[in-house]
């Protein structure tokens, strides 16, 4: 169970995040929707330890405090980030990428089983274990990226815009995989602009705007909300009046 | 007053040999020649951050020019010949190597010095018949001192001229952000080459002047690689980014070396190494950085006089005709792939004069890549782009900028160490009809007030807020007096009231006849600004038309929203 | 013997001697690959470490009668430890303060340049500036009509073993893969639980261990002096850059190419031109392919 309280962050004088609070449980998919520049990527980077959390922030994983812990230790606590731009080792093979995912001590014992699980999830990677990742298509690279994160045997996976630049059919395949990941008990925190597709697989969602959480609710409630459509399209103001607060 | 002080100092320095002992005169010569070398080194390496270890090569070439020619030619001609040889070698080397960056250039320049040394040594032994040469030049230590003093004055004067000319601005921009430089219309290769050659000329002439000091030279003396390193230390110790920094580094270090050799001959290299390490840790910005503890901005310095002198090495771009035809910009079958990822896939569209075209689509759909292809930041794998019926697809970015295409960047790119005024000046000074001097400063101020930065002209761009940096970037782009303006998510991240101001500004630019392409996600802005929209998804163009129609299009909604429930 | 046979012998001689020299170059380039390609430190005092190891081998052999191959067991761990300390104490502050790769490159060039002088000065003080050598296993071995000293053959074999073990470590083991991973994508490495700082220090130290081994092996058949470090640094750099930074196979090929062409020029043209050939080869390859033989062409 990941709990995040009062995260703030700024680049120079630009305030990227302002008091963000959210939580992600096991075996659920939670999506964060918001316009470009709303702070979604920064939020995931702060949680993963790539960007320092502002003062007063609390990030806990199963009650263990993670604020200020370096990124490579956060992985050991069971959090794995698939960053925007994929975070893969382009000059290395698929097999090397996946085995690097199993570098954390927590992942090593179950390495072989996890590898089997990942290759079942993305059968296309099984045929291409010896291929250098840089030479693969965008969709296949994204599978490697998600596979690498799963190899760390996380409890919670954070995904930053996994549909970025993918053809629609690839998106569908990827999101189906997310549902199967949830069924193994792993929690998923997803940042997406593909609202309809992500709300289809998600259990809950948050709306973020200018670094603040401005609404939240069940995926079903969000899906039918006209404000969501405007939100993902990046309209200036979002009215969240009739969305149930969680 | 300042002139009087300079005159007195100069007179005192010039009179020094008349009263100095032999030892002090020799020390004076050391001080002067290291000052020339370090200042000349910093002329090129200071603003561009290319660490050159070729000083010994140019110095040695100069020394050998003297050794070979002194029997046949009078002194002034020998020095002139040395300068010419230096420039020629620098141009040849520079043309082939300045595209190398970082460590590649460092090692290459070092290798060059060693290569030339070996070749000269081989030539001397096998063709000339002896390793060394005697130099019987009729000159005295005083003569060498005075020549070096004249060189110091010349190198500082040249440095001042360059700093106050377009060439100087060009290399300051290059040193901070080479991509921005190209999109401002700066021919970066030419600017670097010009400075490299000027710097090399001073080094060879210094070598030529110093050669008679030895009476006998061989390649090991003339091409001593230590010289390259010593010059780098001195310039960095003093502060390579400023005109007088290298002087401030050369003087104390020459004296220090002198003391070290005299007192600890056996420990010289250990102490030298220790001092070096201390400098790197303790004075990352050089001695001059102690004065400027607070990071201050490069202030734009525009002297018409300096420009008059230096424009011979840095001519203006050829003027181009105004564009009247329609369509202004046309893309036909553009394609660009990165590895297995096709970012732009067979995209064609046209831009009419005076319209605002919205280029929209989900993240990663290829919009920014399309802008990069238009502005020349990336080269297309296929397809053609024409600006007013002229093919521009294969031109380098700076030529495209000179033709009148200006852009801003998705992740804002300003010149962090330059003042706002200098940032805008970079846009004004290099397009087809550049302005320089007070007129350019006025124009830069006007543009700054226009985007709402009128009160921040002297502030370093790094200290601006994110929003103000975006404004500054727009002012720089407008400085190019563009025909077509490309705005890459320029309105993203603005709050509602700022958004209204931004939209009004873009509208006003269109009223003035500018043709604009905006890449945006802010739908309100697209609805109120765009005359037409082009929608991309997964690298392909999927819709085109007025914003209202395009945003209601089924395929567009699906691209943004994902597949509707089946 | 006929002229043809003589020519064959000469060619074989050049290839064999060139292989020995080239193998040494490839080995020390491999060490520099670890330091520059992986730990991202441009270490100009690299050659000084090699010469220091050569002096250590000389001292062990002449002073304590320990043969150089046994000496490796002492010199290599010592070199590893010294380089690890160098990284932790001297270079870590520079890594921490660098805002980008370019700044780190400049800072590390300048910092290690100072260290170069300190080490060189200490060696000059201890051993003097003269050329040094010792005679160990300098017995001729006949191979296909030409001769090669046994110490050279032994040095080459040792280099092959050390290089091979390192190659297997880097490509076949978890820690070796992690080492390469931080060079490919540092952020993704952190997200895979790899401690970048500790791993960089390890890579730097391992590079130091390799160059220590190179120094011992080279001292078996070449004369050396306290001032020769810079030459080795430059040659290692040239080989690394020619092969493409971070590319081990490239470094091997570039090293052998350099060894053979230097030997050929020394035998056929003029020994005084070997360094000129080195640089000419290097400069032309860089002009032809700015990122080296096997470097990635464009990003």
In this prediction, residue A235 carries a pLDDT of 38
For A111-126, write each residue's pLDDT tens digit.
999 999 999 999 989 9
| Range in A12-21, B404-413, B457-466 the model is least confident about | A12-21
For B457-489, write each residue's pLDDT tens digit.
888 888 887 778 888 999 999 998 898 999 988
pLDDT greater at residue B13 or residue A139: B13
Confidence of residue A245 (pLDDT cuts 50, 70, 90): very low
Residue A236 has pLDDT above 70, yes or no: no
Residues of B in Cβ contact (< 8 Å) with C241: 103-104, 107
Q: Do A229 and B466 touch (CB under 8 A)?
A: no
Q: Do A135 and B339 touch (CB under 8 A)?
A: yes
Confidence of residue C113 (pLDDT cuts 50, 70, 90): confident
pLDDT (mean) for C79-104: 88
In this prediction, residue A13 carries a pLDDT of 55
Query: B22 Cβ partners below 8 Å, 6+ apart?
Result: B141
Any C CB within 8 A of A80 CB: yes
pLDDT over 90, % of chain C = 48
Residue B557 has pLDDT above 80, yes or no: no
Q: Do C191 and A87 touch (CB under 8 A)?
A: yes
In degrees, rounded to 5, the angle at the alpha carbon of residue B456 between the alpha carbons of residues B451 and B459 is: 130
Cβ-nearest to C188 among A49, A87, A107: A87
Q: Do A166 and B523 touch (CB under 8 A)?
A: no
Highest mean pLDDT among A18-32, B59-73, C202-216, C233-247: C202-216
pLDDT (mean) for C112-119: 89
Contact in structure between B61 and B245 (CB atoms under 8 Å): no
Any C CB within 8 A of B416 CB: no
pLDDT over 70, % of chain B = 91
In this prediction, residue C23 carries a pLDDT of 94
| Range in A126-135, B284-293, B504-513 the model is least confident about | B284-293
For C45-73, write each residue's pLDDT tens digit.
999 999 999 999 999 999 888 899 999 99
Residues of A in Cβ contact (< 8 Å) with B560: 193-195, 232-233
pLDDT (mean) for A127-150: 88
For A186-231, write each residue's pLDDT tens digit.
999 998 877 777 888 999 999 888 788 888 889 888 887 776 766 5
For C230-274, write each residue's pLDDT tens digit.
889 988 988 988 888 778 888 899 999 999 999 998 888 888 788
pLDDT greater at residue C150 or residue B131: C150
Any B CB within 8 A of A209 CB: no
Q: CA–CA separation, B27 vs B35, rounded Å? A: 12
Any B CB within 8 A of C227 CB: no
Closest CA to A228 of A203, A183, A194, A181: A194
Mutation for A interface: B367, B369, B493, B537, most A CBs within 10 A: B493
Any C CB within 8 A of B229 CB: yes
Confidence of residue A242 (pLDDT cuts 50, 70, 90): very low
Query: What are the Cα distances from residue B166, in Å, to B45, B114, B298?
Result: 17, 34, 14
| Range in A229-243, B308-322, B434-448 the model is least confident about | A229-243
A:33-62 residues touching chain C, CB 8 A cutoff: 48-50
Query: What are the Cα distances from residue C80, in Å, to B25, B270, C133, C183?
Result: 49, 23, 24, 20
Residue B281 C-alpha, separation from nearest chain C C-alpha, in angstroms? 8
In this prediction, residue B226 carries a pLDDT of 82
For C185-201, write each residue's pLDDT tens digit.
888 999 999 999 999 99
Q: Do A237 and B523 touch (CB under 8 A)?
A: no
Cβ-nearest to B270 among C90, C121, C241: C121
Residues of A in Cβ contact (< 8 Å) with C189: 89, 100
Contact in structure between A208 and A32 (CB atoms under 8 Å): yes
Q: Do C187 and A75 touch (CB under 8 A)?
A: no
Any C CB within 8 A of B131 CB: no
Phi-psi region of A242 (alpha: psi -120 to 50; beta: other; left: phi over 0): alpha
pLDDT (mean) for B72-82: 90
Closest CA to C197 of A72, A175, B468: A72
pLDDT (mean) for B350-372: 86
Any B CB within 8 A of A237 CB: yes
Ranges of H-type helices in B292-375: 304-310, 367-375
For B290-326, write each residue's pLDDT tens digit.
665 444 556 667 777 777 776 666 665 555 555 555 6
pLDDT greater at residue B35 or residue B538: B35
Give the residue carrying structure tokens 């060009």: B170
Contact in structure between C48 and C226 (CB atoms under 8 Å): no
C:73-92 residues touching chain B, CB 8 A cutoff: 90
Q: CA–CA separation, B333 vs B312, rounded Å? A: 41
Residue C83 has pLDDT above 90, yes or no: yes
| C-alpha C206 chain-centroid distance | 12
Residue B25 C-alpha, separation from nearest chain C C-alpha, in angstroms? 29
In this prediction, residue B37 carries a pLDDT of 96
B16-43 in b/e form (b: 16+ CB < 10 A) is bbeebeeeebbebbbbbbbbbbbbbbbb
Ranges of H-type helices in chain C: 3-32, 46-58, 64, 68-85, 92-97, 101-127, 150-172, 174-184, 186-191, 196-219, 229-243, 248-268, 274-288
This complex has an ipTM of 0.85
In this prediction, residue B316 carries a pLDDT of 59
For C21-53, write each residue's pLDDT tens digit.
999 999 999 999 899 888 888 898 999 999 999
Any C CB within 8 A of A29 CB: no
In this prediction, residue B315 carries a pLDDT of 61
**How many beta-carbon pairs under 8 angstroms link B with C?**
116
| Range in B189-193, B366-370, B388-392, C149-153 the model is least confident about | B388-392
pTM across the whole model: 0.80
Residue A18: Cβ within 10 Å count: 16
Q: CA–CA separation, A18 vs A12, rounded Å? A: 14
pLDDT (mean) for C122-136: 88
Any C CB within 8 A of A154 CB: no
The pairing of beta strand A29-34 with beta strand A187-192: parallel
pLDDT over 90, % of chain B = 29
Residues of C in Cβ contact (< 8 Å) with A90: 184-185
Q: CA–CA separation, A113 vs A99, rounded Å? A: 12
Any B CB within 8 A of A229 CB: yes
For A34-77, write each residue's pLDDT tens digit.
776 678 888 999 999 988 887 888 899 998 898 889 999 999 99
Query: A11 Cβ partners below 8 Å, 6+ apart?
Result: B466
Any C CB within 8 A of A91 CB: yes
Mutation for C interface: B270, B283, B377, most C CBs within 10 A: B270
**How many beta-carbon pairs under 8 angstroms link A with B?**
95
Cβ-nearest to C276 among B100, B102, B119: B119
Confidence of residue A240 (pLDDT cuts 50, 70, 90): very low
Cβ-nearest to A90 among C174, C184, C194: C184
Q: Do A236 and B496 touch (CB under 8 A)?
A: yes
Any C CB within 8 A of A76 CB: yes
In this prediction, residue B293 carries a pLDDT of 47
Residue B199 has pLDDT above 70, yes or no: yes
In this prediction, residue C147 carries a pLDDT of 82
């Amino acid at each position: 169970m990941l709990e995040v309280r009062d995260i703030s962050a700024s680049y120079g004088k630009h305030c990227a995040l302002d008091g963000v609070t959210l939580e992600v449980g096991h075996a659920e998919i939670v999506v964060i929707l918001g316009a470009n520049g709303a702070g979604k990527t920064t939020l995931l980077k702060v949680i993963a330890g790539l960007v320092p959390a502002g003062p007063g922030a609390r990030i806990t994983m199963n009650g263990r405090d993670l604020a200020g812990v370096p990124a490579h230790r956060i992985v050991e606590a069971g959090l794995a980030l698939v960053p925007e731009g994929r975070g893969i080792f382009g000059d290395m093979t698929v097999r090397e990428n996946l085995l690097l995912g199993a570098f954390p001590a927590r992942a090593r014992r179950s390495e072989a089983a996890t590898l089997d699980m990942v290759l079942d999830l993305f059968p296309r990677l099984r045929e291409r274990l010896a291929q250098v990742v840089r030479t693969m298509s965008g969709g296949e690279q994204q599978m490697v990226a998600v596979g690498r994160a799963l190899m760390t045997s996380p409890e919670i996976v954070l995904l930053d815009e996994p549909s970025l630049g993918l053809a629609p059919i690839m998106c569908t395949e990827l999101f189906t995989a997310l549902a199967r990941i949830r069924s193994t008990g792993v929690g998923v925190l997803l940042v997406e602009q593909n609202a309809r597709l992500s709300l289809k697989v998600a259990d809950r969602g948050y709306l973020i705007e200018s670094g603040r959480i401005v609404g939240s609710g069940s995926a079903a409630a969000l899906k039918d909300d006209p404000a969501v459509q405007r939100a993902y399209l990046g309209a200036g103001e979002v009215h969240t009046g009739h969305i149930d607060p969680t | 007053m300042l002139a009087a002080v300079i005159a007195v100092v100069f007179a005192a320095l010039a009179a020094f040999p008349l009263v100095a002992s032999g030892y002090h005169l020799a020390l004076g010569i050391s001080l002067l020649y290291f000052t020339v070398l370090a200042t000349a080194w910093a002329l090129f390496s200071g603003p561009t951050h290319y660490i050159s270890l070729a000083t010994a090569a140019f110095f040695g070439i100069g020394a050998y020019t003297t050794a070979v020619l002194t029997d046949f030619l009078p002194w002034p001609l020998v020095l002139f010949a040395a300068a010419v040889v230096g420039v020629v070698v620098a141009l040849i080397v520079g043309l082939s190597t300045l595209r190398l960056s970082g460590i590649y250039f460092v090692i290459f320049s070092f290798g060059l010095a060693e290569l030339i040394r070996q070749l000269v040594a081989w030539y001397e032994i096998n063709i000339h018949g002896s390793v060394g040469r005697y130099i019987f030049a009729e000159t005295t230590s005083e003569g060498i001192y005075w020549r070096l003093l004249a060189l110091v004055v010349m190198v500082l004067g040249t440095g001042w001229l360059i700093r106050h000319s377009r060439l100087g601005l060009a290399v300051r921009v290059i040193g901070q952000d080479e991509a921005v430089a190209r999109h401002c219309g700066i021919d970066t290769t030419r600017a670097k080459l010009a400075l490299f050659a000027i710097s090399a000329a001073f080094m060879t002439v210094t070598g030529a002047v110093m050669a008679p000091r030895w009476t006998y030279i061989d390649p090991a003396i003339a091409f001593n690689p230590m010289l390259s390193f010593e010059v780098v230390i001195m310039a960095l110790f003093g502060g390579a980014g400023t005109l007088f920094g290298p002087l401030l580094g050369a003087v104390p270090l020459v004296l220090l070396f002198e003391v070290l050799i005299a007192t600890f001959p056996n420990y010289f290299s250990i102490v030298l190494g220790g001092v070096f390490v201390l400098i790197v840790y303790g004075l990352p910005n050089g001695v001059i950085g102690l004065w400027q503890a607070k990071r201050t901005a490069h202030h734009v310095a525009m002297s018409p006089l300096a420009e008059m002198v230096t424009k011979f090495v840095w001519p203006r771009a050829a003027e181009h005709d105004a564009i009247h035809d329609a369509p202004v910009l046309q893309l036909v079958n553009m394609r660009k792939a990165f590895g297995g990822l096709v970012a732009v896939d067979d995209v064609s569209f046209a831009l009419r004069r005076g319209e605002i075209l919205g280029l929209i689509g989900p993240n990663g759909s290829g919009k920014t890549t399309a802008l990069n292809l238009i502005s020349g930041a990336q080269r297309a794998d296929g397809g053609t782009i024409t600006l007013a019926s002229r093919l521009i697809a294969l031109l380098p970015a700076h030529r495209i900028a000179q033709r009148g295409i200006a852009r801003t960047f998705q992740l804002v790119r300003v010149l962090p160490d330059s003042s706002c005024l200098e940032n805008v000046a970079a846009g004004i000074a290099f397009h087809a009809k550049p302005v320089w001097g007070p007129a350019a400063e006025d124009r830069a101020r006007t543009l700054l007030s226009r985007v709402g930065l009128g009160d921040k002209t002297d502030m370093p761009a790094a200290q601006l807020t994110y929003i103000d940096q975006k404004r500054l970037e727009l002012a720089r782009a407008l400085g190019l007096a563009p025909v077509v303006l490309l705005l890459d998510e320029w309105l993203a991240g603005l709050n509602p009231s700022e958004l209204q101001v931004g939209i009004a500004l873009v509208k006003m630019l269109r009223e003035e006849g500018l043709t604009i392409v905006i890449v945006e996600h802010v739908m309100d802005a697209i609805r109120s600004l765009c005359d037409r929209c082009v929608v991309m998804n997964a690298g392909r163009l999927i819709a085109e038309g007025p914003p209202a129609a395009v945003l209601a299009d089924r395929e567009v909604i699906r691209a943004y929203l994902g597949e509707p429930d089946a | 013997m006929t002229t043809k046979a003589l020519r064959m012998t000469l060619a074989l001689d050049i290839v064999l001697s060139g292989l020995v020299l080239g193998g040494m170059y490839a080995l020390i380039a491999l060490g520099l690959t670890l330091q520059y390609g992986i730990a991202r430190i441009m270490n100009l005092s690299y050659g000084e470490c090699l010469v220091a190891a050569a002096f250590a081998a000389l001292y062990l052999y002449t002073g304590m009668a320990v043969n150089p191959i046994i000496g490796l067991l002492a010199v290599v761990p010592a070199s590893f430890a010294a380089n690890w300390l160098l990284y932790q104490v001297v270079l870590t502050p520079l890594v921490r303060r660098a805002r980008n790769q370019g700044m780190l490159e400049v800072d590390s060039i300048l910092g290690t340049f100072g260290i170069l002088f300190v080490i060189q000065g200490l060696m000059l003080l201890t051993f003097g500036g003269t050329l040094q050598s010792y005679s160990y296993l300098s017995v001729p071995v006949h191979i296909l009509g030409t001769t090669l000293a046994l110490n050279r053959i032994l040095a080459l074999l040792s280099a092959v073993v050390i290089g091979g073990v390192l190659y297997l470590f880097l490509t076949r083991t978890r820690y070796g893969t992690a080492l390469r991973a931080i060079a490919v994508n540092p952020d993704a490495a952190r997200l895979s639980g790899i401690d970048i700082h500790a791993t960089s220090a390890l890579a730097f130290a391992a590079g130091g261990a390799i160059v220590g081994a190179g120094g011992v092996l080279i001292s078996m058949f070449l004369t050396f002096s306290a001032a020769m470090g810079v030459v080795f640094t430059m040659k290692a750099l040239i080989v690394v850059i020619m092969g493409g930074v971070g590319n081990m196979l490239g470094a091997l090929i570039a090293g052998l190419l350099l060894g053979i062409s230097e030997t050929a020029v020394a035998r056929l043209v003029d020994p005084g031109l070997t360094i000129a050939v080195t640089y000419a080869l290097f400069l032309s390859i860089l002009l032809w392919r700015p990122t080296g033989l096997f470097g990635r062409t464009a990003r």
